[in-house]
Structure 1
Amino acid sequence: MSSMNTIKKNLEIRIYPAIAEKNDKGEKLANISKIESNIGIYRFIYNKELEFINYFRNLLLQYGYEDHVIVNDTSCSIILNMLRQEYPFLEKAESSSRQQSQRNLILAFKRYDDSSLKSNYPVLKTKKNQKDTFRIMNNNDNLRIQKDKYGYDKIKLPKLGLVKFKTSKEYRELLRKGSNPDDPTVEIKHITIKKVNNEYYAVFNITELYIPQEIIGPRQQIGIDIGCSKLASLSNGQEIPNLDLTTEANKIIQYQQKMSHTQPGSIRHNEAQRLYNLWMKKLVNKRNDYYNKVTAYIVKNSSFIAVQNENIIAWKHNKYLSRKLQLNAPRIFMDKLEYKCLWNDVEFIKVPRNFPSTQICSECGERNYNMSGLRNLGIRDWECPHCKTHHNRDINASKNILNKGLEIVGTTVQ
């Protein structure tokens, strides 16, 4: 019997805000103007509170005092109450979204004060190159999926109204469970509304009590070598090719060049930026779809997975590899593999990055130092000088990664 896991999920779905404020049945709708207003208020509160804090910091420094301005919930709440009295239009926003704006500011200062993160001092948010988002917390089950008077499922946003959405049957069922207070298996924590390239999305943050499905039949122990010329090589001899993203990459470069040759704010610049965002979205969606299918297949047929914790950032410093790594994003592949293992009760082990997986013979264990260094990346096949076994570089590395992973957990290859 599989154990029950509590897992967190972010469900991103497309929403379609109305233009009218009410439908024919008199129900309040979360229209475009309300959402745009909340996005603007979210940014306005952040900027005004930051201006207050900067003013007091500069005032203390001007009179020779050290910076003693404490940025926390208490100080920011005082500023927010002052802003609400001075600017009555802030009452149009949902209350938890106002509070979330100041929480983000507090978090920005915490990151700045933490020397290990090396974060910059918080700056004002601008409409240019800015993520258009706001977040609503689920308080007293006021954020849910409910049917309108026509019988269709809609998202009920507190203070804003109902909004149409489209998603898969799986996501819809999860959201229905989260909207049912008598169902403890799914809980909706909050929702983030965002605008991307003139399209609106809702990201539900949920927690789910999840029982992994028991799969009948043999399941393998797999070692995976993440590569550049190929996405991954498995210890069972399978090789997973990279996705062909040439068309999308060329279009992105084309519209980047057009944006650099046009005046920001002009019609041609805006059109180039729209097409750039469109092709970037196509690339990301295509890659995510491919990685989801590949990782689901691997996890479904595995009981144990070992992957080397590669230093992808260091790889990007190599001018011959950086372009391909930027397109294929192997770190995203590894992250998807890891959370799917968690969801399906599959053991996932990361082998240390300093383990010489490509240099060791998987048959006799002899180490071949001639395979070390970037200068030997072109050698794809080699023969062990000790036992004379012929190896494919990547398959051999994946076998060594599997052996090392099993060694870490204290078991042997089955």
Structure 2
Amino acid sequence: MIRTYKVMLKPNNKQKTKLFECAGLSRWAYNWTLGKQKENYNNGGKFLKDSVLRKELTKLKKIKEYSWLNQYSNNITKQAIKDACNSYKRFFKGYSSFPRFKSKRKSKPSFYQDNIKIKFTKTHVKLEKLTTSKKKNRQKFNWIRLVEKGRIPTGEDIKYSNPRVGFDGLNWWISVGVKIEEVKEDKPKSEPIGIDLGVKDLAIISNGEKYKNINKSSKMRKLIKRYKRLQRQISRKYDMSKTKIEGGENCYKYHKTKNIIKAENKLKRLYKKIKGLRDNYIHQVTNSLVKAKPNYIVIEDLNISGMLKNKKLSKAIQEQSLREFRRQLEYKCKWNDVKLIVADRYYPSSKLCSLCGYIHKDLKLSDRIYKCPKCGNKIDRDYQASINLREYPKSVA
């Protein structure tokens, strides 16, 4: 089993400059590959394999104009070429849209590192060829400090896969896959549970537990209010710095001042804090559900893209991160040997009476209490949905 770890880096100023250069090289190699593939396709040629393009790039390095490529790791350009070729293949197979050239301003700075040459200690990571000097005191430049100590497993027997270094607008991060042997524990399993996800509350469990919507907490409301206020301040700063362009009636040019850059960085940090609180809360909820070791867990197959079309609820649904909740539950159930069952999308979990089995077809979204016309059962709508989901495998069998 491969487990992925993502840890923040703490490079010094010179290391930051080098990391941006490596990301720029990766972007250049990706765009160069796309340009070659596009030119070849327009001339009626067949698809160029990444091995052919890598050989062409090796010859290109011998030219004086492209000699600067020798100052960086060869693996960065190799993987960038491979990524571009894969995206080109995916387009022709119908899996994705046509690959676009990466923009320096809009694309995320990231690059690949060789999984064999990369080295980890409890406190540092060694990246390949950040410096070309072979002196011992210069080789220290290759070692970058990790913010979290001992998070990534180290040792001679550890095998790493697909190490990537990326920049999120504020900090540099490294993500790496680590091959770990599965250890199955014979822990006694508890009763199965059904989970009903919603907007009012994040999750209602069939055993009576309820996990509230974190976005409605006072702390989160204050942060969101501060975020909106800061957005308006930045907008006003842009309006103050605009100048009219000659030759046009409503044509203006906006100048990004140092104060605007400071405010935008502040906004990014605040957004990171809000997103971090939401992600951490989902991790806490999913961990508590899986570590209870239920016999099985049942969730609904929600149509998230269809739900987002509702203009009144789209923002609340987006903030709940329901798709992220399911993704975390899937891999955590796999890690802890818990069976996860996804109920059919059209299963009437909310309209089905948990006592007599009557389906209340006229039930509206505004009806929060379920009243069964047949047996008179009165129960919370979401709680009943979680009970019905728990019994879903029996109804299908």
> Is the structural similarity TM-score above 0.5?
yes
**Equivalent residue in structure 1 for 2:205, among 227, 234, 240:** 234
CA distance in 2, matches of 1:198, 1:222: 40
- Measure the CA separation in 2 of the matches of 1:385 and 1:316: 32
C-alpha contact (below 8 Å) 1:251/1:276 kept by paired residues: no
Q: Distance in 2 between matches of 1:19 and 1:118?
A: 38
Structure-1 separation of matches of 2:37 and 2:89: 14
Corresponding residue of 1:369 = 361
Q: TM-score, normalised by structure 1?
A: 0.81
State which of 16, 19, 43 in structure 2 corresponds to 1:32. 16
Map of 2:118 onto structure 1: 143
Matches within 5 A, 1:215-254: 215=187, 219-244=190-215, 245-254=220-229
Deviation at 1:69, TM superposition (A): 4.0
The whole-number CA distance in structure 1 between the counterparts of 2:52 and 2:233 is: 46
Question: Which residues of 2 match residues 51-62 of structure 1 at below 5 A?
Answer: 51-58=35-42, 60=43
Aligned AA for 2:124?
A: K
Q: CA RMSD of the aligned region, Å?
A: 2.2
State the Cα distance separating 1:156 from its structure 2 match. Answer: 1.9
Taking the aligned partners of 2:26 and 2:256, their CA distance within structure 1 comes to 24
> CA 1:252 to 1:129, structure 2 compared with 1: closer, same or farther past 3 Å?
farther
**Which of 4, 8, 12 is residue 10 of structure 1 equivalent to?**
4
Work out the CA distance in 2 between the residues paired with 1:264 and 1:335. 42
| Deviation (angstroms), 1:166 | 2.2
C-alpha displacement at 1:249, in angstroms?
Answer: 3.2
| Matched residue count | 363
Equivalent residue for 1:180?
156
Q: 1:28 is matched with which residue? A: none
Q: Distance in 1 between matches of 2:261 and 2:184?
A: 47
Which stretch has the larger CA shift, 89-98 or 352-361? Answer: 89-98
Cα deviation for residue 215 of structure 1 reads 3.8
Matched, 1:166 2:154: no
- The change in CA–CA distance for 1:287 and 1:103 in structure 2 (over 3 A counts) is same
Q: CA–CA distance in 2 between the matches of 1:403 and 1:318? A: 30
Which amino acid in 2 is paired with 1:167?
Answer: E
| More moved, 279-288 vs 76-85 | 76-85
| Distance in 2 separating the partners of 1:108 and 1:130 | 15
Instruction: Report the CA distance between 1:9 and its aligned residue.
Output: 2.2
Distance 1:397 1:343, change over 3 A: same
Comparing 222-231 and 159-168, the one that deviates more: 159-168
Point out the more displaced range, 383-392 or 269-278: 269-278
- Report the Cα distance in structure 2 between the residues aligned to 1:388 and 1:19, rounded to whole angstroms: 70
The C-alpha deviation readout for 1:348-371, integer Å capped at 9, x for no partner, is 010011111111111111111111
CA distance in 2 between counterparts of 1:254 and 1:108 reads 40
2:127 corresponds to = 157
Residue 337 of structure 1 corresponds to which residue in structure 2?
A: 329
Percent sequence identity over aligned pairs: 24
Match of 1:103 in 2: 82
Assess, with a 3 A threshold, how the Cα gap between structure 1 residues 258 and 50 changes in structure 2: closer, same or farther.
Answer: farther
CA distance in 2, matches of 1:254, 1:210: 48
One-letter amino acid of the structure 1 residue matched with residue 322 of structure 2: P
Q: Distance between the aligned counterparts of 1:222 and 1:348, measured in 2?
A: 10
The alignment status of 1:358 with 2:337, answered yes or no, reads: no
Shift of 1:136: 1.0
Asked if 2 retains the 8 angstrom alpha-carbon contact of 1:197 and 1:278, the reply is no
Contact 1:292 1:336 in 2 (8 A): yes
Closer, same or farther: CA 198–85 of 1 in aligned 2, 3 Å: farther
Q: Answer whether contact 1:190 1:206 (CA < 8 A) is retained.
A: no
CA offset digits 1:125-152 (Å, max 9, x no partner): 122122010011313xx22224xxxxx7
Distance change in 2, residues 1:264/1:287 (3 Å): farther
Q: Distance in 1 between matches of 2:51 and 2:120?
A: 34
Instruction: Identify the residue that residue 26 of structure 1 maps to in structure 2.
Output: none
Q: Provide closer, same or farther for how the CA distance between residues 113 and 266 of structure 1 changes in structure 2, counting only shifts above 3 A.
A: farther
Superposed CA offset, 1:296-326 (max 9, x none)? 1111112310001110111110112101011
**Distance change (3 Å), C-alpha of 1:206 and 1:35:** same
Q: Say whether the 8 Å CA contact 1:264–1:270 is kept in structure 2.
A: no
Residue type of the partner of 1:35?
A: L
Aligned ranges 1:30-109 → 2 under 5 Å: 31-58=15-42, 60=43, 67-86=44-63, 87-109=66-88
The range that moved more, 126-135 or 75-84, is: 75-84
CA contact (8 A) 2:170 2:269 kept: no
Q: Distance in 1 between matches of 2:40 and 2:123?
A: 49
**Do the aligned partners of 1:47 and 1:124 also contact (CA within 8 Å) in 2?**
yes
Aligned counterpart, 1:281: 272
Q: In the alignment, is residue 395 of structure 1 matched against residue 376 of structure 2?
A: no
Between 268-277 and 92-101, the greater mean CA deviation after superposition: 268-277
Quote the Cα distance in structure 1 between the aligned partners of 2:222 and 2:68. Answer: 47
Judged with a 3 Å threshold, the aligned counterparts in structure 2 of structure 1 residues 83 and 270 are, in CA distance, closer, same or farther, namely farther
Q: Which residue of 1 aligns with 2:133?
A: none
Q: What corresponds to 1:130 in structure 2? A: 107
The partner residue of 2:307 within 287, 312, 315 is 315
**1:10-54 CA-partner distances (Å, limit 9, x unpaired):** 21111112346xxxxxxxxxx223322211111111122223333
Partner of 1:149: none
Q: Do 2:203 and 2:211's aligned partners in 1 also have CA atoms closer than 8 Å?
A: yes
Q: Give the secondary structure class of the aligned counterpart of 2:24.
A: helix
Unmatched 5+ residue regions in structure 2? 131-141, 239-253
**Structure 1 counterpart SS, 2:192:** strand
